[in-house]
Chain A
Amino acid sequence: MAQTTPSPAPTLTVAPPAAVALSGVGKTFELSRGRAVSALEDLDLHVAEGEFVAIVGPSGCGKSTVLRMVAGLERPSTGTVVVEGRSPRELARSHRLGVAFQEHALLPWSSIRGNVALPFHLAGRPVDAARVDELVRLVGLEGFESARPRQLSGGMRQRAAIARALVLRPDVLLLDEPFGALDAVTRRRMNRELARIWSEERITTVLVTHDVEEALFLADRVVVMTGRPGRVRHVHRVDFPRPREAAITRSPEFHEAVDLLTGLLDAEGTA
């Protein structure tokens, strides 16, 4: 009963191909004595080219695990993770990912310039000094190029980490609470800076945070996750025009959105 008639070409989806696509992703972590905990279940998430998506969720919902899977640091137990049409590990191996985690992981023995230039060394490419200088300027660290990380404040170290993440013009930028360890005032300032930097670079970005205001201020879409096992509970489109100024955080629309998302998170927290 072999079909000889040529089958029609598969219908093309209307949406442009996603830069980051998680489909039916689940992750279970093995604990001791054969017990396992399910961190994520059947999670679908698509991030378009040049889009900024923030993931918020109650603590322990596996949002960092999502980011680590996109970074190729964890493998999904079920489902697939595709970044720029390839596996995350392949993308990492071709030096196309940029990351900034809560721990800045700057090399203490290296200067700020050396740290920002590190991705060039790891990619085995000659250091583009002009690009390094440009990024040091972009994150506002000019004058501190030869300082060592421990001579700088926490905020300055995170700026250096962000400059390092951007220096190779990555296809995808992954941020895991990059300002999580900073005080509230510094954190707000860093978010304004990040919004400015991002509107200049427009890189596909996934940000993980537990701060709803931070997510709304920075992202095009905010994904609210459920508690463990994590799933997508709600996706909120953010329509504030760019470049965004601090003024939008005082608008009624902003407050309304904060209340909505905080409500969703609180419901998750008690569930």
Chain B
Amino acid sequence: MRRALGALAHYWPIAAVFVGWDLWVVLNGYTTVVAPRPGLVLADIAAEPGAYAGDLLRTLLTSLVGLVLGMGVGILAAIAVWSSAAVSGVVTPAALVLRSVPVTAMIPVIARVAGYGDSSILLIIVVVSFFPAFVLTVSGLAATPAAGRDLFGVLGAGRLRTLVRLQLPHAVPHVMVAFRLTAPSAVLAALLAEYLVGTGGLGHLFSTARSYMELERAWGTALLATVVSVLVFVLARGAERRVGARFS
């Protein structure tokens, strides 16, 4: 009983969302075509979890692969920029251009070039995940304390050893900030790209359910996408704190 009360104290806003949603539909007298009641949506998810599971898994997997690839490319680009002024002159402006164009505007272009399918979606997530990892790794590499650099200099460490044993570990908390910032956007980018150009995943499921007027399914997809986004954010924040504490 007490635990139930504790949970209620903690999670009442979630319950309030569902109650508010229900009231909003009922009081306005909306039909299911306009907006289904939450009970119907939850019932659809409970009745046919298999209809969602495959697409959910696909979205999560695509997001994860794209995130890892994008951050990996960002970190490598940061190391390249750190190691050579010539590379920095090429990579930095390109990264800024990539950043300035909104991803939504890029999706049709990317799909035209890379084809309507998973490769485009991955590419879009990579574009979204690249920049924060790039910028924060550059600043992490540059922010190595002078005392550490002096120590490594006196101990006769070469550039590569200084990078691997001092600067990169020092940049880890910065990279984790990038991870926390990027992980939810990667999921968002995946959903958006699937919705616009995909052949599967939650975004695609939403788009097809809507066009077949399966409104419970469409809303169920949106609900799942919201839950997934929130969970990804919470997990990423936890990882950032944990790893950040380990490295500082």
Contacts and interface: CB of A to CB of B under 8 A. Distances in A.
Interface of A: 68, 71-73, 92-95, 97, 99, 101, 103-105, 107-109, 118-119, 121-124, 174
A71 B154 contact: yes
Interface of B: 145, 147-148, 150-157, 161, 165-166, 169, 172, 246-248
A73 B165 contact: no
Contact of B154 (A107, A121, A174): A174
A93 B156 contact: yes
23 contacts: A92-B153, A92-B155, A97-B154, A99-B151, A99-B154, A101-B151, A103-B147, A104-B147, A105-B151, A107-B148, A107-B166, A107-B169, A108-B247, A109-B172, A109-B248, A118-B155, A119-B155, A121-B165, A122-B152, A122-B156, A122-B157, A123-B156, A174-B154
Contacts of B247: 108-109
B154 to A, nearest CB: 5
Given A94-B156, A122-B165, A109 B150 contact: no
In the A-B complex, the 6 residue pairs with the smallest Cβ-Cβ separation, listed nearest first, are A103-B147, A105-B147, A122-B157, A105-B151, A95-B156, A122-B155
**Chain A facing B: main interface SS:** loop
Given A95-B156, A97-B155, A123-B155, A109 B147 contact: no
Nearest to B153: A73
A101 B150 contact: yes
Contacts of A95: 155-156
Contact of B147 (A101, A108, A121): A101
A104 B150 CA distance: 11
A226 B150 CA distance: 26
Q: Which of B155, B161, B246 has the most CB of A within 10 A?
A: B155
B151 A92 contact: no
Chain B CB within 10 Å — which of A92, A107, A122 has the most? A122
Contacts of A99: 150-151, 154-155
B8 to A, nearest CB: 39
B156 A92 contact: yes
A223 to B, nearest CB: 21
Nearest to B162: A122
A105 B154 CA distance: 12
A72 B151 CA distance: 11
Contacts of A71: 150, 153-154
Q: Which of A93, A95, A104, A109 has the most CB of B within 10 A?
A: A109
Given A101-B147, A101-B151, A104-B147, 5 more contacts: A105-B150, A107-B169, A108-B247, A109-B172, A109-B246
Contacts of A123: 155-156
A142 B113 CA distance: 62
Contacts of B246: 109
Contacts of A121: 161, 165
Given A94-B156, A97-B155, A174-B154, A122 B161 contact: yes
A174 B248 CA distance: 26
A72 B153 contact: yes
Contacts of A94: 156
A65 to B, nearest CB: 13
B154 A72 contact: yes
